[in-house]
Amino acid sequence: MLSRRKHRVVRDALRDGAWIRDLRGRVSPDLLDLFVTFRSLLGLAELSPEVRDTFTWRFSADGGYSAASAYRLQFLGAMDSPLIPIIWKPWAAPRCRFFAWLVVQNRLMTADRLLARRWPNNYFCPLCMRSLETCMHLFVECPHARCIWERVAVLASAHSLDPATWGTPARTIDWLGGLSAGLPAAEASRVRSWSLLVLWQIWLERNARIFRQASSSVATTMAKINDEAAAWDLAGAKIFPPRE
């Protein structure tokens, strides 16, 4: 990178120390130790003038470049996101996956976020009309939502969806991940699909009450959830427990 001559081959660069002249005036004090070490290593190298230079791509086993190896290089040092198994891998409608991502990022325009922006809002949770509407309250703490989750736990035969087993999570990502924690892979995937479906249906009920002044009972919401789950199951979600 510091050399004045960018296109020298190794043979020409080593002839009569040409590479050193190419670096004249460009080696800073921070790079001096590296320069000395590199010069010492070159003194130990044995090069054959009749052998042509070759290029080796060190990111593949055979030393050859490939588009696939370059693609994998983009992800070196990347960290796995906890959202991948919880949101992006389970079977669910794309809109439900994206919505769940907004939930765990706290990107929903619930009353608390509207208040922070000094925008008009209804303050109270539209499902229970008791507390300030926050993302955590709407899906985890609201009595109306907890009643829905309790019935879904029975419908899905998934004990972990019962609010009585939840404890007091501090963040929605902790709560959502805890719904399937410790379960076998197939059961965990099924529970995650249910959780994404129920989150979306609770949000739809919330919006209906705010924007259309139309409210549904828990039984009506459960009927909608059951119908949607049946459609998902027909599409291949395997959301219902295996039949005996």
Q: What does the alpha-carbon distance between residue 61 and residue 212 come to, in Å, rounded to a whole number? A: 61
Of residues 138 and 59, the one with the higher pLDDT is: 138
CA 67 and chain centroid, separation: 25
> Which residues share a beta bridge with 124?
132
Q: Which secondary structure element, helix H or strand E, spans residue 43, and what is its range? A: helix 32-44
Give Cβ neighbours of residue 118 (< 8 Å, ≥ 6 apart). Answer: none
pLDDT in tens, 43-92: 766 667 677 767 788 888 888 889 999 998 888 887 788 899 999 999 99
Predicted local confidence at residue 5, as pLDDT: 63
pLDDT in tens, 98-117: 999 999 999 999 999 999 99
Contact between 139 and 145 under an 8 Å Cβ cutoff? The reply is yes
Q: What is the mean pLDDT of residues 138-144?
A: 97
Q: Return the amino acid letter for 229.
A: A
Q: What is the mean pLDDT of residues 4-27?
A: 69
Q: Return the amino acid letter for 228.
A: E
Predicted local confidence at residue 160, as pLDDT: 96
Q: What does the alpha-carbon distance between residue 126 and residue 144 come to, in Å, rounded to a whole number? A: 10
pLDDT in tens, 152-163: 999 999 999 999
**Coil/strand/helix, residue 132:** strand
Largest CA distance in the chain: 88
Q: Which secondary structure element, helix H or strand E, spans residue 151, and what is its range? A: helix 143-156
Residues in the chain: 244
